């Protein structure tokens, strides 16, 4: 398959490269505003790099696209890709609010076009384990807690992504950027859809224009709740981040550790499962699965519809943080 890559200075893009090349994808063009980035990837992919993504789409014949870019430009970029009628992957959050993502999702559904969104936790061993526990052992997780604390926000300035620290181009900070993966996990394994969201955000640690710490709670009156905490509040160190979680069911308790996951079952000895919880390798798996779905014209659950459900929670969380009260959804 021939592919175009749009706005490749995004910090996640390097995690795609090996699997794109190993998967037999021929890159025929790409875009980025940075001359340095264009020179680097022109040499790697042996094709032309364009300053503007519109020029890339207008100049290249392709079968599949992988789109990144500023959150505020994702809606416009995606509408152009949808109009071209070819399958594509769109980096999360796929827009700056749920209204944009919903509109894209409806266009894709009406046209029958496959659009993937890298909610990459769906492709990891934890997702498979939780699915097994719910489907095979009947675990119903009434509560869950997720923590993901990444490095300081100034790292985006070093990654050609200065726009990530501007509310108008990023749509927010750690909440819109980091929380989608764990909101998606929580939504998948909650017993009922949440109807209330409460959130707090602040930027007191680094005093940037976007929040560096965010906590949200989503709950359902029918039963079930989840807490998601994210932040740009991990020191700049050789250790990339802190990621931890726990889930509670009547007869099951699942808890993360540095090297894996412990499952505690009623009346049984604890079971430890060694597991790599680093999310970086999951992007390569996502690339493989998405390309396979395109080749087979198959279904792909990590799509705009899944991203829309997550963005509805994020919209409610920002509203709650703004007005200081819980928000009904």
Residue 140 domain-assigned (yes or no): yes
Same domain, 316 and 294: no
User: Does 153 lie in the same domain as 79?
Assistant: no
Question: How high is the pLDDT of residue 235?
Answer: 84
- In this structure, are 80 and 107 located in the same domain? yes
The per-residue DSSP string of 263-307 comes to EEETTS--EEEE----SHHHHHHHHHHHHHHHHHT---SSBHHHH
Domain with residue 296: its CATH number is 3.40.50.720
pLDDT given for residue 240 in this prediction: 81
Consecutive H or E run containing 149: strand 143-149
Contacts of 118 (CB under 8 A, 6+ apart): 12, 89, 91, 92, 283, 286, 302
Q: Do the domain assignments include residue 91?
A: yes
Q: Name the domain count of the chain.
A: 2
The pLDDT of residue 180 is: 98
pLDDT mean values, one per 10 residues, the chain (329 residues): 96 96 95 95 96 96 97 97 97 98 97 97 97 98 97 90 95 97 98 98 94 98 97 85 96 96 97 96 97 92 97 98 97
Q: Give me the pLDDT at residue 159, please.
A: 87
197 & 58 share domain: no
Q: Is residue 222 part of a domain?
A: yes
Domain identity same for 167 and 252: yes
Helix (H, G, I), strand (E, B) or coil at 315: helix
> Which residues lie below 8 Å from residue 251, measured CB to CB, with a gap of 6+?
139, 265, 266
Largest CA distance in the chain: 64
Position 290 scores a pLDDT of 97
Q: Considering only CA atoms, which of 238, 274, 278 is closest in space to residue 148?
A: 278
What is the residue range of 237's domain?
Answer: 121-277+311-328
């Amino acid at each position: 398959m021939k592919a175009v890559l749009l706005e490749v200075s995004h910090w996640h893009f390097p995690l795609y490269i090996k699997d794109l090349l190993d998967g037999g994808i021929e890159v025929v063009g790409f875009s980025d505003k940075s001359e340095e980035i264009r020179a680097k990837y022109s040499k790697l992919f042996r094709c032309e790099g364009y300053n503007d993504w519109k020029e890339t789409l207008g100049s290249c014949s392709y079968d599949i696209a992988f789109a990144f870019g500023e959150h505020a430009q994702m809606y416009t970029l995606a509408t152009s890709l949808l109009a071209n009628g070819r399958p594509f992957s769109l980096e999360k959050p796929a827009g700056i609010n749920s209204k944009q993502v919903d509109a894209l999702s409806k266009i894709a559904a009406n046209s029958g076009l496959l659009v993937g969104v890298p909610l990459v936790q769906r492709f990891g061993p934890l997702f498979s384990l939780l699915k097994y526990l719910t489907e095979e052992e009947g675990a119903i997780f009434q509560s869950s807690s997720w923590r993901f604390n990444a490095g300081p926000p100034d790292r985006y300035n070093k990654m050609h992504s200065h726009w990530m620290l501007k509310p108008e181009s990023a749509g927010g900070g750690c909440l819109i950027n980091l929380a989608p993966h764990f909101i998606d996990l929580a939504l998948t394994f909650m017993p009922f859809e949440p109807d209330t969201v409460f959130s707090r955000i602040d930027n007191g640690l680094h005093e940037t224009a976007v929040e560096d710490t965010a906590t949200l709670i989503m709950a359902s009156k029918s039963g079930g709740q989840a807490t998601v905490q994210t932040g740009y509040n991990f020191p700049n160190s050789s250790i990339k981040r802190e990621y931890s979680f726990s889930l509670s069911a009547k007869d099951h308790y699942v808890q993360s550790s540095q090297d894996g996951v412990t499952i505690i079952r009623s009346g049984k000895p604890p079971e430890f499962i060694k597991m790599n919880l680093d999310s970086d390798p999951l992007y390569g798996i996502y690339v493989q699965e998405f390309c396979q779905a395109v080749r087979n014209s198959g279904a792909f659950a990590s799509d705009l519809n899944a991203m829309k459900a997550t963005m509805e929670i994020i919209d409610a969380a920002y509203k709650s943080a703004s007005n200081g009260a819980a928000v009904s959804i």
